[in-house]
Structure 1
Amino acid sequence: MPAKKAANQPRKSMKIKKGDTVKVIAGTDKGAQGKVISVLREQQRVIVEGVNRVKKHTKVVDAGGRSGKSGGIITTEAPIHVSNVMLVEGDGVTRVGFRRDEVTKRRSDGSTYTAHRSVRVSRSTGEEI
């Protein structure tokens, strides 16, 4: 029997974010590109526009009024694991890394100080994403 995860375990940051264009590298939709609609951090999954489409059967419910009855078969995107997608950069795909940049920040009283900011970078080109 596998060990259970601790409830107060720190969350892993995901390298793919909402709005990124990704390419599917494994599964039935391999090769498809799309925009990330949402990120499910707890399950380590992403929902990509036009990828992993499934049909959902919804019950007919009488809502009343002008809306009438809603129901039937709805086609929607299902989540896929984040390891099955890669970030698109230019013509190809790239892995994502992080870099700590030193920045100057300003306090409310007008004084300045240096701090560090984490930015995503392309592993292939080294440019900021």
Structure 2
Amino acid sequence: MLRPLVLLILLQFIGEALARLGGIPIPGPVIGLALLALAAGMVPRLFSEVEATADTILRHLSLLFVPAGVGVLQHLGLIRREALPIVAVLLLSTLLTLLATALTFAWLARDEDAPRGSDEP
């Protein structure tokens, strides 16, 4: 379990370094995950090596929310002062997401109803 864990942390570190040094606006862990996917594509046994460790990490993922909860409690005064803008942005972003999803679904459904060619009866 140690070797796959070191590999995962190393890939995350490389991703973080690429993001910071290269000025890439993508989070380092996302870049590290892409690197893991590329590596697993080239070395198929890598997936089976990392799978058990990744499953263990995912089972304990809720522990990663503890620091975020502490941060929220630590800045509760600021959150109270800025509650109206926070709620407004949350509502607006939710509405925009729903609108974008509905428009995308309507566009895809319209495309699905279009005739495909001469093989249609």
TM-score by length of structure 2 reads 0.19
Structure with higher strand content: 1
Larger Cα Rg: Structure 1 or Structure 2?
A: 2
Which one has more relative contact order, counting CA pairs under 8 Å at least 6 apart? 1
TM-score by length of structure 1 reads 0.18
